[in-house]
Amino acid sequence: MKTLAAAALALGLAALAGSAAAQQPAAAPLTFDATYSVIGRGMNVGDFNYHFQRTGGGYQATATRVMTGWVGGALNHSQDFRYAVRGAVAADGSLHPSAYEHQGGRRAADRPQGKLIRAAFTAEDVVTTATPGRANMGDPPATPAQRRGVIDQITAIAALITESNDPCGQTLHVYMDGRARFDFAMRAGTAVNINSPAYRGPGVRCTVDFRPIAGFGDHQDAATLTFIISNPGPGGARAPITIEMPTDGFGVVRLEARRVTINGTRLR
């Protein structure tokens, strides 16, 4: 279970975004915090904590995934990870990562906190590095053309939070962990009434086509996933309540929100 639930533009596009932002009001400041249960193979196997902050023309997000109970012990916590990303907010509100990293996985004497993977995004490509050693680029590795115009998986969650129009009317081109390349093609949504520990109220259920493209290292089948997202709340932000995500070695896992706070106000 290498990573959750992916990668995109930056230096050239950030400059364009900056010039456009000078002509339009900057996006309002926004903070979003959520705690999710990780559901895998029908079991509650861990916790996923997510923080997103947007300030003017930039954003940053961090996350942690910790496997709990007997699953965490059985895996010797080799599936515990921390994630971080920062990037630019374009004039249209879209997010463009510039620097992504994660650390975790199997520990060793020379890496007691796990291997550190970094991905640097430019307008034309993504360059992945590892400390120590070399980065695993997958088999087959994503080509430069396949890496162009992508976002990381942590930014992909932020894209759901900040989408002001139909959250189901977009395709997310994701580069997960600087290695696995796939698309989330989201179809027209269905209005639902959500009743969860994190949120009670109207929302939308998105049917999502998961399309694996490159870098997984083993065969991945296309799949149909489900996202359930709240209607806009404080600051115009949406709350992803349920997100199904592919993982490396553990199949599809489901994130289910237990608590969501937007701009310091807890949703009910």
> Tens digit of pLDDT for each residue in 46-59?
999 999 999 989 99
Q: How many domains does the chain have?
A: 1
- 5 belongs to a structural domain: no
160 near 151, Cβ under 8 Å? no
- 188 belongs to a structural domain: yes
- 199 belongs to a structural domain: yes
- 4 belongs to a structural domain: no
What the block records as the tokens of 31 is 């903070």
The residue with greater pLDDT, 156 or 169, is 156
- 1 belongs to a structural domain: no
Q: How much is the pLDDT for 77?
A: 54
- 129 belongs to a structural domain: yes
- 2 belongs to a structural domain: no
Angle of CA points 175, 123, 128, to nearest 5°: 45
| Banded pLDDT at 100 (limits 50, 70, 90) | very high
169-213 confidence digits (pLDDT tens): 899 999 999 999 999 999 988 999 999 999 999 999 999 999 999
Work out the average pLDDT over 108-127. 83
Q: How much is the pLDDT for 20?
A: 36
Among 14-28, 71-85, 133-147, top mean pLDDT goes to 133-147
Q: How many CB atoms lie within 10 A of CB 184?
A: 26
- 231 belongs to a structural domain: yes
Look at residues 82, 118, 99, 75 and name the one whose alpha carbon lies nearest to residue 3.
82
Residue 171 lies in domain:
11-266
Whose tokens are 């932000």? That residue is 237
Q: What percent of the chain clears pLDDT 90, i.e. is strictly above it?
A: 63
